[in-house]
């Protein structure tokens, strides 16, 4: 299991109707694979309660995009996402939403 924190771009998206949203993009690099992880400190993006985490994988770069079934856990305000297995070495994009 490798940490992707140094490889990802994490972008806060302005709150809308009381919700905050964060986008995490692994970029076009090909190092991501099943069981790799990234973390997000939720308070850094105004999130006190997690609502959803939705992941996507580019199975064909820039063309075919499907859902990615990552697993999540939150410990002391830090979300850890383990990306879905299969489709190794593909770009991932995750959207994290909370209030």
User: What is the residue range of 50's domain?
Assistant: 9-98
The answer to whether position 59 is within a domain reads yes
Distances (CA, A) of 86 to 18, 20, 92: 35, 30, 12
Q: What is the structure's pLDDT at 52?
A: 92
Q: What is the structure's pLDDT at 25?
A: 84
**Backbone phi and psi for residue 16, each to the nearest 5 degrees, phi listed first:** -135, 120
pLDDT in tens, the chain (99 residues): 456 655 566 666 665 567 888 888 887 656 677 778 889 999 988 889 999 999 998 887 777 888 988 899 999 999 999 887 776 788 888 999 988
The answer to whether position 65 is within a domain reads yes
- CATH number of the domain to which 40 belongs: 2.60.40
The total domain count for the chain is 1
Report whether 94 contacts 44 (CB < 8 A).
no
The answer to whether position 46 is within a domain reads yes
pTM equals: 0.82
Q: Residue 45, SS3? A: helix
């Amino acid at each position: 299991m490798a940490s992707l924190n140094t490889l990802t771009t994490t972008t806060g998206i302005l709150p809308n109707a009381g919700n905050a949203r964060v986008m995490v993009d692994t970029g076009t690099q090909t190092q991501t694979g099943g069981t790799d992880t990234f973390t997000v400190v939720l308070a850094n993006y105004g999130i006190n309660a997690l609502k959803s985490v939705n992941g996507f994988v580019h199975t064909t770069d820039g063309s075919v995009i499907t859902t990615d079934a990552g697993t999540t856990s939150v410990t002391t305000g830090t979300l850890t996402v383990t990306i879905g297995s299969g489709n190794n070495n593909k770009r991932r994009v995750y959207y994290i939403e909370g209030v």
